[in-house]
Structure 1
Amino acid sequence: MKLFFIVSLFVYSINADEYISSDLEPLTDEIINAINALNTIWKAGKNFDGSNKIEMDKLIVTHEETFNQHFTNKTYSTKLREHTPETFDARVVWPNCTSIGKVYDQKKGYPSWIYAAVGSIADRLCIQTGAEIDVEATVEQIIRSNGGFNSKYNSANIGQAFNYWSKKGIFTVKSSKDSSCLPLSSKCNQNDFKLDKYYKVTVESPDIWLDKMRDIMVNGPLPAYMEVYSDFPSYKSGVYQSVSHRFLGMHNVKLIGWGVENGVHYWLVTNSWGTEWGNEGFARIRIQRATFGVQSSMPSVTFELVKTPSAIPKLYQQDQLFCLA
């Protein structure tokens, strides 16, 4: 693929008269009809089992946060960039890593950042080491401990979590009973689980969009934040590009690949709004400069297994514990 490919993706823009009214409420029949009347490159429809009573403040951040967390830039060579394929799907490339294709659900009021963060670590740990993580169990115990993340709905910064793991490292944990026994929870005794392995975590951020693509190809899915507008909750099919000016807040998703539909280039995205939303929980979002922020840092993690006993921390926090499936 040539370098001019990615440049051509940013040329398209929507005319001012192709936006829906900002007065339309999310998830209503009125907003769905208004979106579809534009006959754009995607279709709206009823999500969340047809309900328009979803508490959107539990799904997205309703206030501004500093999501841009700057990590060391990771740049791939021009030669590697030029070999980026036109389509890619991490679920197909790594079928044994089932966390990549799993859609999680924020119905409990848990924030999107924790599913994107824990999910991408689970994906990449599986790809790089073969270890499979129980994402739901890990999310539950991190929410319970709330160590340094401020997990009130979506008020945390996803970069804060990756900074924490890069400083502290992570442990994989084996349960000697069943998955309902979470480390150090009221359901467990100290002997009900044991530490498995300890990994140092390195966090970098791919530089340009072709580097982000290459990073996904080499290491696995990337977590990303996006601006959410009033039309996005009604996304159903096609390649999404916002047709609304009404800003609802910020949200975290996972980029698991990319492709082309009718000449339109898109990111393949895993959301955390359950399988009743979108295309069974997935979305195709147009690749353009503003979609995930011009300067947005997408944490790219790699792991180093620590085998020397003296180099393994004797003390740990629950937020470092990732439950093995």
Structure 2
Amino acid sequence: MWYFIKLLAFVRLSISTFNEEIDYMYKSKPKNEFIKYFNNLNLSWKITHYDNLNASMHFCALLKTEANIPYIKLDVDSEISLPVNFDAREKWPHCPTIAEVYDQGRCGSCWTFGVATTASDRTCIHSNITVRLSEQDFDCCKDSYSETVCGGGNPGLAFNCWTTLGLVSQDCRPYNIQELEDDNTCKKTCKNGQQYQSDKHYGKNVWRVPEDDDSIRTELFRNGPVEAAFEIYEDFGDYKHGIYEHKYGKRAGEHSVRVIGYGEEYGTQYWLVANSWGPEWGENGFFKVKRFQQELNFEDYILTAFPKNS
């Protein structure tokens, strides 16, 4: 009976927000005119134009590779009621990584940032160790991507790399797009002079979060940021601020991000998310996205993880 009630709630929440009229204007108007038109529609979000947004960013989460990750079991009924608004930066202020945003640049490596930053946050929250885990070190985990790190990868397999092979810190292996594009080979040496293997940090286990609102909010509130992969469209790249709802444009690919909270504004429920397109994009690198949008499938592949020494 409880499952049936939650299923009905999901059906009510999962709605299409695409607008054919707005899409027509997007296709027919010059970009500067369309931006003015869109921003005068009194919608939940505003758009702008970014000169340096690279289309290669859009194709970086490959979800077709099965990672065989089990669902986490959450008792969402017996806990205290969840707050309407929650921000992990406020609950764990001693973990500076939660508030940090990175720039993946022209490399399709969003999957490494979604996983490494989530793992960094979880290491601080559950092990009381502040570390910024290396996105570069995923080039030592060949099973997690198809051809190159910049060509996209599977977040589930990437999390499994953290539990089996471990990840070094960014100080040991800082992010270097040129190396990933030109060489893309595993380099087991540290730039800062540390021993590569002794700099490793490991995960203990990885779980998939059930695709319902209570489970996702409960996991965020209890244990901290989670990783999500979702469908993105052309309008997402234009996001400036507000609560994003897909309104126009064609599908641009799949994207991996780190969810750090949730909330509600003017009756619209959203997820609070850290992107990897730099602090100049969106709300200082963060964005809000309306929960359970039909086209986005945002809630369908959310992963949670815990460090080995938690």
Match of 2:289? 285
Number of aligned positions between the proteins: 293
Percent identity of the aligned residues? 24
Shift in CA distance, 198/218, structure 1 to aligned 2, threshold 3 Å: same
**Cα deviation, residue 14, structure 1:** 3.6
Counterpart of 1:215 (choices 212, 219, 225) is 219
User: Alpha-carbon deviation of 1:107?
Assistant: 1.4
Residue 95 of structure 1: how far off its partner (Å): 1.0
Structure 1 residue 20, shift from structure 2 partner: 1.8
Q: Which residue of 2 aligns with 1:38?
A: 41
Bigger drift between 32-41 and 123-132 goes to 32-41
Q: Which residue in 2 is equivalent to 1:121? A: 119
Report if the CA contact (8 A) 1:20-1:35 is conserved. no
Alignment counterpart, residue 150 of structure 2, candidates 132, 153, 161: 153
Q: Deviations over 1:236-270 (max 9, x none)?
A: 11111010141111111111001111111110010
TM norm structure 1: 0.76
**CA distance in structure 1 between the partners assigned to 2:245 and 2:280 by the alignment:** 20
Where does structure 2 lack aligned partners over 5 or more consecutive residues?
176-185
Calculate the aligned-residue CA RMSD, in Å. 3.7
Aligned-residue offset at 1:216: 1.1
* Structure 1 unaligned residues grouped into runs of 5+: 307-325
Q: What's the offset of the Cα at 1:272?
A: 0.5
Cα shift readout 1:204-228 (whole Å, capped 9, x = no counterpart): 1121221111111111111111211
2:238 equivalent to 1:238: no
Aligned AA (1:148): D
Against the structure 1 CA distance between its residues 34 and 257, is the aligned structure 2 distance closer, same or farther, given a 3 Å change threshold? same
What pairs up with 1:4-153 in 2 under 5 angstroms? 10=13, 13-14=16-17, 16-21=19-24, 24=27, 28-47=31-50, 51=51, 54-57=53-56, 59-61=57-59, 65-66=63-64, 69-80=67-78, 83-135=81-133, 138-143=134-139, 145=140, 147-150=142-145, 151-153=148-150
- 1:314 alignment partner in structure 2: none
Q: TM-score w.r.t. structure 2 length?
A: 0.79
SS of 2:143's equivalent in the other structure is coil
* Structure with higher strand content: 1
**Counterpart in 1 of 2:160?**
163
Q: CA deviation at 1:54?
A: 3.1
CA deviations on 1:83-127 (whole Å, 9 max, x unpaired) are: 221110001111111111111101152510100100000000110
Task: Please give the per-residue CA displacement for 1:127-162, whole angstroms capped at 9, x wherever unaligned.
Answer: 000111124xx123434x454333442421111212
